[in-house]
Amino acid sequence: MEDYHKPDQQTVQALRNIANRLRINSIKATTAAGSGHPTSCCSVAEIMSVLFFHNMKYRPEDPRNFNNDRFILSKGHAAPALYSMWVETGFLKESELLSLCQVDSTLEGHPTP
């Protein structure tokens, strides 16, 4: 990681704030669904906030860009955290999180391609 740089305190605090919003939105989504694994979502919050907002390179306005970094979530029970991250990046509206696991929702209990 030759281009790695240690984040300053302001960046660290911003990443913590994002992680906390991921937790809150994941809990809201799983509570509304009456289903899910909120603790699995909470445990990946810091990792996801640092990857998406400090390490990964991508263009939210161009999600199919060949040069974008890719993120694969193998911890399927943490799908609501991924959906919450999509809210943070602007791919999804926060209100859509409340449709988790509903019949006509695109947000399933486990991530699908």
Domain contains 15: yes
Per-residue pLDDT of the chain (113 residues; tens, 9 = 90+): 565 678 899 999 999 999 999 999 999 999 998 988 999 999 999 999 999 999 999 888 888 999 999 999 888 899 999 999 999 998 899 999 998 888 888 888 777 76
Number of domains in the chain: 1
Rounded CA separation 4/102 (Å): 41
Domain contains 55: yes
Handedness of CA 51, 55, 58, 59 (dihedral sign): positive
Rounded CA separation 97/35 (Å): 13
pTM listed for this prediction = 0.86
Domain contains 33: yes
Domain contains 20: yes
Domain contains 2: no
Domain residues for 91? 9-99
**Residues 84/22, Cβ–Cβ less than 8 Å:** yes
